Structure 1
Amino acid sequence: MDLDALAGVISYKHTGDSVMTVTAAVDRITLSRPLLEICDLELSGQVTFATGRSSMEVSLQVCKAIPTGQTKKNEDVFMECAFTMVSLDPVTKKAVKIAGVEPENEVERNLYELGMRSYEKKKREMGRGLRSKEPDDEESDLIHRLWLKTLDYHGLPQYSLPPPQNLHAHVKLHNPIRPNHATPIPQSPQLHDLRWFPPKIYFRISIYMCISYFPFKTYFYRIRS
């Protein structure tokens, strides 16, 4: 949350307050080393890539706070990350053009090139999405393997979904699929005073029990008094 807020402040310093800036993505997070000591941390960042359109990349760094006059070392850096921010018109909510970035030194040029590679990669992936083209052979094989694993997990090797007329034959109550959570259910109304529980508590317990024993989508039918 602090990093996202800092990225927003840096973005507004670049664009001014006449536009609305939103977080589009967190592109990368690099953890250099674990934080093993109690110390003050310094959060810093700058706009490192912008094409002059509506988006920009903000690179952030978390490092050990260095006293005035001392030089920051590589071992003082704990984390580096990059946010993609997009500027919008506050009224129409449409993308607006912003100023570009011109690197002035070697460090800025390296960050700019890194942002350029990330930008080009995003453009390529957008053209390869399943909404724009069908999956290739490698992607089809991956989808098929995941589908087979799903069938094995649910114990249904022959069907993508169990046939409706034989639905309950595929689930054995003595060997149900157990989720990785436990739902405590009161057993004594007098002990837990269940008379004062709202009806939605009983409804949730019923849903949890169905999900715990049956790996299928559960629908509410009726309440029987």
Structure 2
Amino acid sequence: MMRVVSLLRVGAKATSTPLNIPASASSSSLNHLLNNYSEFPPRNHLIYNKRSFSTTGKLNILGNSNVEATIPNIGLVKEKLQKIMGLAKGYSPLLPSRGHLAQYLPTQQDELPSRTMQDSFSSTIIPLSTDIDLQEKYSTFLGQVRLGRLMEDMDTFAAWVAHNHIYNPKLPADTPTPYVIVTVLVDQIDFTDVIPKPDADIRLSGHASWVGRSSIETVVWLEQKIHDKWTKITRALFLMAARNPTNSKAAIVNSLVPANEEEQKILEGGESRKRRRQNATAKSLLKVIPDQEEQAVIHDLFLKTLDARDPSFRASHLPPGAIWMKAAQMDNLVFSHPEDRNLHQKVFGGFLMRQAFELSWVCGWVFSKQRPTLMHISDIMFHKSVDVSSLIKMRAQIVYTELHCMQIVVNAEVFDAKTGAVSTTNVFHYTYKINDVAPQVIPKSYHESMLYLDGKRHFQRVMGLK
């Protein structure tokens, strides 16, 4: 099982922001067509009306269409998470002992009360409209919001939602939680065509959408207040795992029960995604050979590069408008510092997500000669944790193109400066679109051919083509 502690970056200002939350705010039907790409594509009944959720003592958006509520900002959420874990502010290479907290963990799931989706529902604000320092931190050179920063916040918020789901009656008051919440993977992040502004508040909301024995799937969505109306930006699915206090084995969490028919559909969607991931793992190109259709695709690409006048198979050339895959890549080396850590002295997963995204965007820009628009992020895998002070080598590779779209994969590796050894820690998949038809990438080796087929599989899945 792939695991890495990916909770939050420490140290942030905390305030609360009063907001009017319209009860009419709800998700809508979504469309994948490139010419009308303005909403999220529907994914296994994850589209629902947010008015069906309420949280005791936190936020209630039922009934009245204009309920005044005070929502904590993202800085306060980070401080609360730090308090839940029983950790003090400030960096120290030594972590306090947490082994004694294992006594509060259940041995069976039925020892814990069942939870509903409204129990974990929560919202938080990124107060860009009032915090000038945050505006600079979140702004791009184009005057837009850095999506990589939003990914960091989504990762933090997913951990917050997972903690909200967990309720352990055995835990005494004011005792740190015995649970460590880690990010296993990001199943998918879908983007609308709304371009977020760096001077308007952004609201994150989310809840648990599926729960296993020790895993919690959370759905997180972002909206920005534009002309006094909350407008959708993105929606993400995070799979979190609960671990024991020393992060050495799985910890049992509360079961999730649906409160109505709509929530039952959401829960069934989580089961469907679990089966899809299991099926994808079983059919991975790392385990089985490509199917007949995929073999034909690779052979066709091979034939396109042959010189018809040379029967030796030795001569190869690029078809018009194509580029060798090896020429469509970009590298970066990141030196991590304590400010990039989470609460467990590992590199914050959101930091890795931001670095990988920004490298993929630059790679797509250089390759296409246009500024690409992000459509989807899918199957972000966390294979290993990354120690603070690590040298992190990242490589962005364009592996597949079709019409106006590019599929880019980024591999993150920890580089050992002493031995030269490299260990893969993360894999990220991005789908971008550009205005013109993207050049075709051509693999030159069997290894690159497998990258091409894997990229095609990801592209077809996120675009709903297969």
State the superposition RMSD in angstroms.
3.8
Residues 96, 47 of structure 1: alpha-carbon distance in 2 compared, 3 angstrom cutoff = same
Match of 1:110 among 265, 282, 285: 265
1:47 equivalent to 2:215? Answer no
Q: Which has the higher helix share?
A: 1
Q: Which residue in the other structure is 2:191 paired with?
A: 31
TM-score by length of 2: 0.29
Aligned residues of 2:220 and 2:236 also touching (Cα < 8 A): yes
Matched, 1:13 2:164: yes
Is the partner of 2:290 in helix, strand or coil? coil
Q: Considering fraction of residues, name the structure with more strand.
A: 2
Distance verdict in 2 for CA 1:179–1:5, change over 3 Å = same
Are the equivalent residues in 2 in contact too, given 1:44–1:62 (CA < 8 A)?
Answer: yes
Query: How do 1:36-115 residues align onto structure 2 when only pairs under 5 Å count?
Result: 38-51=199-212, 53-65=213-225, 76-91=231-246, 93-115=248-270
Q: Which residues of structure 1 form unaligned runs of 5+?
A: 161-176, 182-214, 216-225
Aligned-pair CA distance for 1:122: 0.6
Q: Does 1:124 align with 2:279?
A: yes
- Identity across the alignment (%): 28
Correspondence for 1:158 among 304, 307, 313: 313
Contact between 1:10 and 1:47, CA under 8 Å: does it hold in 2? Answer: yes
Residue 65 of structure 1: how far off its partner (Å): 4.8
Give the distance between the partners of 2:288 and 2:222, measured in 1 at CA: 40
Give the residue type in structure 2 aligned to 1:39: A
Whether the aligned pair in 2 keeps the contact of 1:33 and 1:79 (CA below 8 Å) is no
TM-score by length of 1: 0.55
Cα distance in 2, alignment partners of residues 143 and 117 from structure 1: 30
Aligned length: 157
Distance of aligned partners of 1:128 and 1:159 in 2 relative to their CA distance in 1, 3 Å threshold: same
Amino acid at match of 1:23: T
Q: Give, in whole Å, the separation in 1 of the partners of 2:299 and 2:245.
A: 45
* Superimposed CA distance per residue, residues 75-96 of structure 1 (whole angstroms, 9 cap, x where no aligned partner): 7322211111122234362333
Shift of 1:62: 0.9
Unaligned runs of 5+ in 2: 1-151, 168-176, 316-323, 330-443, 445-466
Higher gyration radius (CA): 1
Question: 2:290 — aligned with what?
Answer: 135
Contact 2:180 2:247 in 1 (8 A): no
